[in-house]
Amino acid sequence: MDPRSIFLLAALIGGAVLPVQVALNSLLKIYVGQPMQVTFISYLAGTFASLSICFLAQYPLPALT
């Protein structure tokens, strides 16, 4: 697959998922009540998702030197 096609596909998927995230954040605000707590939960979920992708893709850890 052409690298340009991969980037276009990633942009398309990212744009399609954005309204879903907005809807989930709105529902989460109803249950949690505080906007800052919703922000924290959203970033925490994104961090866990990113770490999971890196773990599953078996990216090496960066060097500490």
In the structure, what pLDDT confidence band is assigned to residue 37 with cuts at 50, 70 and 90?
Answer: very high
Share of the chain above pLDDT 70, in %: 100
Share of the chain above pLDDT 90, in %: 66
In a domain, 33, yes or no: yes
Q: Containing domain of residue 24, as a range?
A: 3-57
pLDDT of residue 1: 76
Residue 41 has pLDDT above 80, yes or no: yes
What's the total number of domains in the chain? 1
pLDDT of residue 3: 84
In a domain, 64, yes or no: no
Mean pLDDT, to the nearest integer, of 29-45?
A: 92
> What is the C-alpha separation between 22 and 43, in angstroms, rounded?
13
